[in-house]
Chains A and B, each alone.
Chain A
Amino acid sequence: MSLAASSPVAARALDRAFAALADPGRRTMIERLSLGPANVKSLAGLAGMRLPSALKHLHVLEEGGIVVSQKAGRTRTYTMAPGAFDAIGAWVRQREALMNAAFDRLEALIDAVEGTAEGSTP
């Protein structure tokens, strides 16, 4: 999924992603679902919620386009919606990448200013 955050649709998706992330219980569910599909009962258990409450939170995540669900028989299984967090995730990753690049320059500068390490070989 491309990062088309400039379109109104992508803007709304980003707003929903922000809202979905604002709750610790939902973050626990997202964390679990990033590993693979799970049913309501196991997600409720992980998030320390009763079933009705878990369903409500999962509904928010589904409405927000963060997760998708499928019903097979009496079991509803939830799965992450691919690319749900691209915009925010990309911003944080870029911020981290910039700091990593700065620290690469720091290490190079230490080599330049301090000379090579005593007793060590490259």
Chain B
Amino acid sequence: MSAADIHHATFVIERQLRIAPIRAFRFWADRDLKERWTACHPDWRVLEATFDFRAGGSEAKRWRTPDGREQTFTAHYLDIAEPDRIVYAFEMSFGGERVSASLATVALRPAEGQTRMTYTEQIAYFGSREALDARIAGTGEGFERLVEVVAAA
């Protein structure tokens, strides 16, 4: 894989959570709570799951998909400032091949007793065609959204 095959993109998701940051923070920091909203593939068999939520700690997940391939998510927490900020780097791989590496920043800002949560993901994508096929179903609908993403990068 050459350097020319690396693609960078950034996307930002903002949510208004109706609890204060100190309480919202728990949903990222507590293993059981986080598992309850991040688990999304009941048909994937969990092979490994570790969770060490502290700056310098890591979180690792490994699954076997129904077609018998391995999917991984490995995160390293770089910076944690309770309750305002969580910064982590993570990789994702599929079938033994790394697909992407990202920097994720979660900002939890107080907003009148609630929380303005901003999730920013900066992605370096270098997946193969096979990985792309495995993750994408359906057809593209033009480039408008990509232009937004690229413009934000």
Contacts and interface: CB of A to CB of B under 8 A. Distances in A.
Interface of A: 1-3, 5-6, 10-11, 14-15, 18-19, 21-22, 27, 30-31, 34, 80, 82-96, 98-103, 105-110, 113-114, 117, 120
Interface stretch (B42-50, B53-61, B63-71, B132-140): B132-140
Given A83-B142, A109-B27, A30 B127 contact: no
Contact of A110 (B24, B123, B133): B24
A89 B130 CA distance: 16
Interface in B111-133: 117, 119, 121, 123, 125, 127, 129-130, 132-133
B7 A18 contact: yes
Contacts of B38: 102, 105
Contact of B123 (A86, A95, A106, A107): A95
B147 A31 contact: yes
B146 interface: yes
Contact of B133 (A5, A105, A117): A5
Interface in B4-33: 4-9, 11, 13, 15, 17-19, 23-24, 27, 33
Interface of A, secondary structure class, is helix
Given A90-B138, A103-B13, A109 B33 contact: yes
B19 A114 contact: yes
Nearest to B99: A91
Contacts of A99: 11, 13, 119, 121
Contact of B140 (A19, A89, A95): A89
Contacts of A82: 142
B129 A5 contact: yes
A11 B139 CA distance: 15
